[in-house]
Structure 1
Amino acid sequence: MKKPTLREMFTIPNILSYFRILLIPLFVYLYFKAETPPEFFRAAVVLGISGFTDLFDGKIARRFNQITELGILLDPVADKLTEGAVVLCLMTRYRWVAALVVLYVLKEGFMAVAGLVMLRRGKKLDGAKWFGKVCTFVFYLVTVTLILWVSIPPTVADILIAVCGAVMAFTLAMYIPVFVKMNREAKADAGEK
């Protein structure tokens, strides 16, 4: 990746990604400080603002032709740092979230390594697949529910965490053949040259 220019560094989508990264410590602080439902609500609002800006940075980048190599890297980094902070915070209150952390690390670790290997071979994933988007939606639905519903019955919390974990495992299983196919294509392309 070539060194980004100042103009590329400060496009509106990149500024939104920086903003999302800056919201992470604020969310963590509010979550750990929270003791009452209104205080947990404040933490959820910060997470909601982060999700809202994530929803629009890609649309703005495409609409106003502000797609940059830095932005392509920065957006998923902001996503993963936010998601990681959320599961680590929730792990302090819900014992089964530890299983989500393990699945999260496996899934994101696989995606990062496979993505880097494919990038070195001249291939890259063309955006998130439908199952990746479903996984993100379920992840935020479950985690925001766990943040907001302070007195959630433990059985309900365990069911929500299990559903989220199942969707994460399904998503990982669906991405594996995608990267296997990309690897085959990269080898075929290398053989043609």
Structure 2
Amino acid sequence: MIHIVTPENQHLFRDEMEQAYRLRHRVFVDEMKWTDLAREDGREIDQFDNAHAVHMLYIADGQVLGYQRMLPSTRPHLLSDVLPQLCEGERPVGPHIWEWTRYCVAPGHRERGRALSPVANALLSGIVEWGLASGISTIIIEMNPLWLLRLVQLYFRTTPLGLPQKVGDEDVLAVTASFDRRTLLRLQEMRGNNLRVLAEPEPTVRRLAG
């Protein structure tokens, strides 16, 4: 299940958030060699892990197997403050537009070939479920250009914001990706069920008692 963590309930997910920060460090620093993000404590945290961030965690048996972060486009985010060169025109801004960042899946739970892994499908489905319920219809993504075709196949309507540019050792492209009910149906079709992936919020008393 995908659990949404915000400042209001983050105290209920202290252990899971620690796992998430360490997963981020393992993926982005150890694997992808984004050495600027390295920290001695092995936790990848940046200036956008603030009161406005929405964290989404895939948790199974107490283990965080996948993670992603959503940032409002109306506040400072990667495209506005770190990678503005990726946007050649007017930067997309609005309450219905959020930025998708720090997507990562634990080794052993990633896709092989073209099919999305169950964790990856759930993370993407979580964005769409959350967005449809929250009046959000578009995400900003800074990504490898090879992801373009995959997003289109998942029924995201993608629009490049500029040409790919080198960021570190990788080509990175900024896009907007809009979604609707058809996107969710497509993701459900691919995983073979229409069950909700977002976990229902747990009562605070019950969570603390556990």
- TM-score, structure 2 normalization: 0.26
Structure with larger Rg? 1
Q: Indicate the structure with greater strand content.
A: 2
Larger helix fraction of residues: 1
